Each structure stands twice: as C-alpha cells, then as structure tokens.
A = this chain, B = another copy of it.
Amino acid sequence: MPHKNNVKAVVLASNKKDELLANAQTLMISTSSEDGSDIEWGVAPFVRLNGMFYIYVSELGAHVRAILKGHSVLFSIIEDESVARNIWARIRLKFQGKLTKIERGNEQFIQVCKNFSEVHGPVMSLIKDFSDFHLIEIEPVKGTVVTGFGSAFNLSGINLELTERLSSNG
C-alpha cells in the first residue's frame, strides 16, 4: 500500500480520475423519492463544459422530479466492469453539486443542446423539443474518488481536484 504522502501515488490517482471523467459518457443520479421515504436512482448522458456538467432529463423519471424539487442528490461515475482491473476496486467517483435549470430557448440552452448532439448523437435532435425534458447544469462542489485498493481521495471544487487522502474507500 503506498504511503499517505507518496507523491507518485497522488499523481497516479489524479490521472486515473481525469481519465475516468474524460471517458465516461453518463452520470448516475441517486436521490430521495418525492415524499422522502424511499431512494431513487437514474442515469443520464452528460456533457461537460468549463467544469460544469449538463444533463438533459425527463421529469417522467421520479429521480428527476425529486432533483427538480431540490432534494439531496449524489452524482456518480464509474468505469465499465469490462475495463476494471479488479472487480473489487472499480475506479469511481461521486460528488455533490449546485443545480441550476437552464431555461428552454435561451442562448445557453441552444449551445448545450448542440454540444449534446455532437457528443451523444442524433437522439438529441429528436428530444430537444420535448417539454417534459429539462436541461440541468451541475456545478461540482465536493466528492470522493476511489482509484484502487486503499486509494481514495476527497475531491473539491468545479474541477474535482484531489485534496486529502482518505483512510478508507469512502
């Protein structure tokens, strides 16, 4: 197990985090149900611009209704099972953020939709005008990343930068 202050281990973990973020296409969303008694979960393709994550999601999903109401939410990203070096230690991160709904039709809405089309293909042009869908901007605030056995770090700020090392896999 690398030492807590091992610079190489920190750089390696930071690189793995950047690689995960660069390769991932979808964000998972965990939140509480509308009445707060149960847990909800969903997944959505995302684009990332200047550190901000954007998802375009339908309020037909209970998890979407919950986050639009301001319920606590935790986002997570995980490498595919098929690329995990060890299934017990899939590289993954989770974070909390500030959510803002981008109003349909304004300049930013149009720009981000265009970006979605470029990154995630023609579906966006089909669903762009569906009024049950909402464009949500997520500014990352804090989180944690696990890059292997005994390698977990806190993350901070819009760029999800590694701060302190954790003694457990968060």
Contacts and interface: CB of A to CB of B under 8 A. Distances in A.
A41 B30 contact: yes
Nearest to A38: B72
Chain A: number of interface residues, binned into ranges: 35 or more
Nearest to A71: B39
Interface in A40-63: 40-41, 43, 45, 58, 60-62
Q: Top 8 A-B pairs ranked by shortest CB distance?
A: A60-B168, A30-B30, A80-B80, A39-B74, A88-B123, A30-B41, A30-B39, A41-B76
Interface of A: 24-26, 28, 30-32, 37-41, 43, 45, 58, 60-62, 72-74, 76, 78, 80-83, 86-88, 90, 92, 94, 96, 120-121, 123, 127, 168-170
